[in-house]
Amino acid sequence: MASNAERAAEFLTARKGEVEGVGEWFEIDQERINAFADVTIDHQFIHVDPERAKDTPFGSTIAHGFLTLSMLTHLTSSIERDMAPYEGIVMGVNYGFDKVRFPAPVKVGARIRARSEFGDVVLKDPNTLQVTRNMTVEIEGEQRPGCVAEWVTLLVYA
């Protein structure tokens, strides 16, 4: 009899390249940018000085690229999912990212959302999957995304 992880691997592998879902819009405000600057000790003026940032090609402050990336946890929480492949999960562990890029700046006041696409699935052992999702952080009204990344997660099943 197949384990929960083995059944999930079959389910997810069959969906490689399909869109898993699209999350809800979320506004990036100056307060969040400033808080991220404080936490990371990255106070470059393009992030925290609205007056000075007006004179840049962006015309306003912009979110740190790593702020945009870090928002994926929240942005994906609003994606409706088929829960079948996640039955029997004991825990999920953030394993890291591959090929992270920031094609367009996320300007202060912009609304962003996550688009998730099924990627590679590797059965590490009978109870553990390594799952890659191809993530795109879309910016409302913009053609280019704020971030694209391959998000790798370990899913441990009972």
pLDDT digits (tens, 9 = 90+) for 26-45: 999 999 999 999 999 999 99
pTM over 0.75: yes
Give tens-digit pLDDT for 76-86: 999 999 888 89
Q: Do 40 and 99 meet the contact criterion of CB atoms below 8 Å apart?
A: no
Please give the Cα distance from 149 to 98 (Å, whole number): 6
- Output the pLDDT for position 2: 76
pLDDT of residue 64: 98
Say whether pLDDT at 92 is over 80: yes
Q: What is the predicted pLDDT for the residue at 31?
A: 98
Name the token pair of 72.
Answer: 């994926």
pLDDT, residue 27, reads 98
Residue 18: band (very low, low, confident or very high) from pLDDT cuts 50, 70, 90 = very high
* In the predicted structure, residue 46 carries a pLDDT above the cut 80: yes
Has residue 9 got a pLDDT over 80?
A: yes
Q: Return the biggest CA–CA distance within the chain.
A: 64
CATH class of 4-157: alpha beta
Q: Distance (Å, rounded) from C-alpha 40 to C-alpha 33? A: 11
pLDDT digits 0-9 by tens, 95-133? 999 999 999 999 999 999 999 999 999 999 999 999 999
Residue 82: per-residue pLDDT: 87
Among 118, 138, 135, which residue's Cα sits nearest to residue 18? 118
Question: What is the predicted pLDDT for the residue at 5?
Answer: 94
Per-residue pLDDT at 42: 98
Give domain limits for the chain: 4-157
pLDDT at 1: 73
